[in-house]
DNA sequence: CCACGCTGTGCAAACGCTTGCGGCGGCGAC
DNA sequence: GTCGCCGCCGCAAGCGTTTGCACAGCGTGG
């Protein structure tokens, strides 16, 4: 049972109100220097820590932020949460993390729970669900910033990674190795990043004067290794003569590995494959995966900083969205195309 | 800005105290049935949800539990948290999740933060750090249950998985396929699960009348794919004639894959490999990994249930620890040993 | 020398809820 | 018919903070 403020005040020989002012950064200047010292010593001696319930009852703020994610087991989320946690906890905030299972009704329920907890702010990272939903659903609860996903309202504060840059890097790498027949295994068009990457893929090829052959892109209707296997399988069997593949993400890339193996081909000798995300373990598969590295921890940290900024002066207009740069991690799943491969 | 209880009471035409009793499960029987109805309707109409700060100020409980984990990016934690979250949120509790980076000083800091937040209970899942630490460090903060890790105090409430069972299943599987020279790539002895699995490995071989050859076990001093590659590499080069390997966990198994490939051998044709944990993605590697499946979500859920039980009647003696069963997921990294392999 | 401002502190209210206590009926038992 | 009990409800205290306001003391400028 921790000490109360009144006990600290008594030990320091001052009124509780004075002790409160002495301990609170913002009001410390209203108290004489040696009183501050006495109070801090007393607080330390009694191992005082303020009761957050009592405090938030009067301040009407909880120093908590809600973080809404789809599925924690998706490898991009843990580092993202680390980023969020690093900056929020440094600022004295606590992150309340909720899973939605990518289920919209469940998401609504968890939003209600966060509202009941009176969170001061919201970080929304549900990549798929409710993409058409009105952002007011979240912002009516508390100031919110979106991360990873692009909200329906383009003006809402958002932290994204630069999909276009990532795809350009990947394509550039493949082209530099001599590839011309570069396929793309794309995600379903409902997902904003899927369309962004597809667009960037076409752009990147076009800019390099390479024919953009519609036969080289295949669209999955869900994102999984199996879908990747199936999609690339079709492409391989179509005789389109692909020598390299840009997969929607790493998981899909693993599926592509399988499709290649199933046909007795080898990666990277016969087919080069590049993934996207650089998820945990991408260096452990065989061959280690060349992939676009996105720093999800930095994205989480940036989103948290943005949110805390909004909380610190609610009057200011919302910050502008940012798009963080990415890099290419070259491993062993890409190599120059074999001579004489069918065009 | 949500409604207050007094507003609900006014709308229902009763005193706030009555409204409180009508809304609170435990005190509902002190109120007439139709008053309850009126109050609930009013609450629903005003979209009332009680202010947790005000409530916990008087009840002296926060309906939050702290969950302490080492590193969220370790794949066993996300499902574990899902299990915890499922049962805590169903009971109206909120889980506060903190990362320690497996750093003891950081862990102490985060414990202090949780204490400052007045968590009602603690779930401790830091697998490695502070294994020698006095469990009172946690239980002085709040009732705590340990999960995944074995605390220094064997009487502390704990949820573990049955390492012995897992190893027995794995060894049984290999023996049934005809293996006799089964190696074990063991974890460092500081880690309680490492010694438990090593012991079980010896036991399992012994029970089946197979020679327990010390030359077949090699101990890593850290747990990583690289350490696994190196450890199994030594074993393979030693000429001990191994035909199968039980790795400490899946990550280490991936390292073993590499060691096998580096020597021009093939898995499973030349060497069978079995992992431990069945982490996310174990079905995606090549070959898909045969591994001991442990249901971390169930462990998290069980730990949470245990903790909530302790919270619901603080008087009762702490629950006894449990050890959850595991299963073997057979994939394609194991096969009968090749004829003529050196004994 | 007075009035005024300023600094440091105390006082008390307020935040929104729970809960012990007491009162007021109504009903059953004698 | 009276008494007692019990079910239902209102009253008010109190949880541990923060903060507007008042006030005391003191230095300063006119």
Same fold for the pair A64-161+296-324 and A163-293: yes
C10 nearest neighbour residue (CA to C1'): A15
Evaluate if residue B30 carries a pLDDT over 70.
yes
Contact flag, residue B37 CB and nucleic strand D, below 7 A? no
Question: Which DSSP string corresponds to B236-303?
Answer: HHTT----EEEESSHHHHHHHHHHHHHTT--TTTT-EEEEEE--TTTTTSSSPPEEEE--HHHHHHHH
Chain A contact for B324 (CB, 8 A cutoff):
no
Tell me which residue of A8, A98, A93, A21 sits closest to B113, measured CA to CA. A93
Condensed to tens digits (0 to 9), the pLDDT of residues B210-225 reads 999 999 999 999 999 9
Contact flag, residue A29 CB and nucleic strand D, below 7 A? no
Contact flag, residue A57 CB and nucleic strand D, below 7 A? yes
Chain B contact for A46 (CB, 8 A cutoff):
no
Instruction: Name the residue among A72, A118, A284 with its Cβ closest to that of B78.
Output: A72
Cα separation, A77 vs B163, whole angstroms: 29
Which residues in chain A touch residue B251, judged by CB atoms under 8 angstroms apart? 284
Residues 70-129 of B with CB under 8 A from A: 72-73, 75, 77-79, 81-82, 85, 89, 94-99, 110, 112-113, 115-118
CATH of A163-293, one of 3.40.50.20, 3.40.1350.10, 3.40.50.2300, 3.10.450.50: 3.40.50.2300
**What are the beta bridge partners of residue A125?**
A69
Mean pLDDT of the B10-31 span: 94
Evaluate if residue B201 carries a pLDDT over 70.
yes
Which residues in chain A touch residue B118, judged by CB atoms under 8 angstroms apart? 51-53
The superfamily in CATH containing domain A64-161+296-324 is Response regulator (3.40.50.2300)
Instruction: Name the residue among A49, A78, A257 with its Cβ closest to that of B116.
Output: A49
- The alpha-carbon gap from B258 to the nearest alpha carbon of chain A, in Å, equals 8
- The alpha-carbon gap from A49 to the nearest alpha carbon of chain B, in Å, equals 6
Instruction: Name the residue among A81, A96, A258 with its Cβ closest to that of B72.
Output: A81
Tell me which residue of A183, A205, A114, A170 sits closest to A289, measured CA to CA. A170
List CB contacts of A18: < 8 A, sequence separation 6 or more. A9, A31, A35, A39
Question: Which DSSP string corresponds to A160-207?
Answer: EE-HHHHHHHHHHHHHHTT---EEEEEPPTTSHHHHHHHHHHHHHHHH
Mean pLDDT of the B257-282 span: 95
Is the CB of residue A68 less than 8 Å from the CB of residue A111?
A: yes
Residues B57, A73: C-beta atoms closer than 8 Å: no
Please give the helix or strand (H or E) that residue B34 lies within, else none. helix B33-46
- The alpha-carbon gap from B193 to the nearest alpha carbon of chain A, in Å, equals 23
Cα separation, B288 vs A198, whole angstroms: 30
Which residues in chain B touch residue A112, judged by CB atoms under 8 angstroms apart? 49
Cα separation, B66 vs B96, whole angstroms: 5
Which residues in chain B touch residue A62, judged by CB atoms under 8 angstroms apart? 53
Rounded alpha-carbon distances, angstroms, from residue A175 to A171, A204, A265, A330, A339: 6, 10, 21, 14, 15
Q: Mean pLDDT for each 10-residue chunk of chain A (343 residues)? A: 92 95 93 94 96 97 96 93 96 96 90 97 78 77 92 88 97 97 94 92 96 96 95 94 96 96 95 96 93 98 97 85 97 87 44
Measure B315 CA to C28 C1' (Å).
39
3-state secondary structure of B204: helix
Phi, psi angles (nearest 5°) of residue A125: -130, 20
Within 13 Å and on the Cβ side, how many CA atoms surround B238?
15
Is the bond leading into A231 cis (omega within 30 degrees of zero)?
no
Evaluate if residue B26 carries a pLDDT over 60.
yes
- The alpha-carbon gap from B244 to the nearest alpha carbon of chain A, in Å, equals 20
Token duo for residue B116? 């400052």
Nearest CA in chain B to A72: B78
Strand C neighbours (CB under 7 Å) are A 14-18, 21, 29-33, 35, 54, 57-58, 60; B 4-6, 16-17, 20-21, 23-24, 26-27, 48, 50-51, 54-55, 57-59
- The alpha-carbon gap from B52 to the nearest alpha carbon of chain A, in Å, equals 6
Cβ pairs bridging A and B (under 8 Å): 109
Residues B94, A113: C-beta atoms closer than 8 Å: yes
Evaluate if residue B129 carries a pLDDT over 60.
no
How would residue B151 be classed by pLDDT, with cut points 50, 70 and 90?
confident
List CB contacts of B164: < 8 A, sequence separation 6 or more. B196, B199, B200, B203
Instruction: Name the residue among B54, B117, B225 with its Cβ closest to that of A284.
Output: B225
Contact flag, residue A32 CB and nucleic strand D, below 7 A? no
Phi, psi angles (nearest 5°) of residue A149: -105, 150
List CB contacts of B326: < 8 A, sequence separation 6 or more. B161, B162, B165, B166, B169, B292, B293, B294, B295
Lowest-confidence region among A37-41, B243-247, B315-319: B315-319
Condensed to tens digits (0 to 9), the pLDDT of residues B174-189 reads 999 999 999 999 999 9
Please give the pLDDT value at position B341.
46
Is the CB of residue A148 less than 8 Å from the CB of residue A301?
A: no
What is the percentage of chain B residues whose pLDDT exceeds 90?
Answer: 83
Is the CB of residue B257 less than 8 Å from the CB of residue A286?
A: yes
Name the residue ranges covered by the structural domains of chain A. Answer: 5-50, 64-161+296-324, 163-293
Cα separation, B275 vs B286, whole angstroms: 13
Phi, psi angles (nearest 5°) of residue A244: -150, 155
Please give the pLDDT value at position A131.
57
Cα separation, A174 vs A252, whole angstroms: 18
Lookup result for tokens 């509790």: B93
Measure B279 CA to D14 C1' (Å).
52
Residues B285, A280: C-beta atoms closer than 8 Å: no
Lowest-confidence region among A230-234, A339-343, B26-30, B104-108: A339-343
- The alpha-carbon gap from A241 to the nearest alpha carbon of chain B, in Å, equals 25
Instruction: For A277-309, give one letter per residue: b (16+ CB within 10 A) or e.
Output: bbbbbbebbbbbbbbbbbbbbbbbbbbbbbbbe
Instruction: Name the residue among A2, A57, A97 with its Cβ closest to that of B97.
Output: A97
CB atoms within 10 A of CB A28: 15
Evaluate if residue B128 carries a pLDDT over 70.
no
């Amino acid at each position: 049972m921790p000490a109360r403020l009144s006990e600290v005040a008594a030990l320091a020989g001052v009124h509780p109100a004075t002790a409160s002012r002495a301990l609170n950064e913002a009001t410390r200047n209203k108290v004489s220097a040696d009183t501050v010292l006495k109070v801090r010593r007393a607080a330390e001696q009694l191992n005082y820590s303020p009761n957050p319930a009592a405090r938030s009852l009067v301040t009407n703020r909880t120093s908590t932020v809600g973080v809404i994610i789809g599925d924690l087991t998706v490898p991009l989320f843990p580092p993202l949460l680390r980023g969020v946690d690093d900056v929020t906890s440094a600022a004295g905030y606590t992150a309340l993390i909720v899973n939605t299972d990518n289920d919209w009704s469940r998401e609504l329920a968890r939003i209600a729970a966060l509202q009941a907890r009176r969170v001061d702010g919201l970080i929304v990272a549900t990549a798929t669900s409710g993409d058409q939903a009105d952002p007011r659903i979240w912002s009516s609860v508390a100031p919110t910033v979106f991360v990873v996903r692009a909200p329906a309202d383009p003006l809402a504060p958002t932290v994204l990674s630069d999909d276009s840059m990532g795809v350009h890097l990947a394509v550039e790498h493949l082209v530099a190795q001599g590839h011309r027949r570069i396929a793309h295994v794309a995600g379903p068009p409902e997902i904003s990043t899927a369309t962004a990457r597809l667009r960037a893929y076409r752009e990147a090829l076009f800019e390099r004067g390479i024919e953009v052959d519609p036969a080289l892109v295949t669209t999955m209707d869900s994102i999984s290794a199996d879908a990747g296997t199936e999609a690339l399988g079709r492409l391989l069997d179509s005789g389109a003569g692909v020598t390299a593949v840009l997969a929607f993400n790493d998981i899909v890339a693993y599926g592509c590995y399988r499709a290649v193996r199933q046909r007795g081909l080898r990666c990277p000798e016969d087919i080069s494959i590049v993934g996207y995300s650089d998820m945990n373990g991408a260096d452990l598969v065989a061959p280690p995966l060349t992939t676009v590295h996105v720093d999800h921890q930095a994205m989480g940290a940036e989103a948290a900083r943005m949110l805390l900024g909004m909380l610190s002066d609610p009057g200011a207009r919302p910050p502008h969205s940012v798009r963080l740069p990415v890099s290419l991690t070259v491993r062993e799943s890409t190599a120059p195309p074999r001579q004489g491969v069918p065009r």
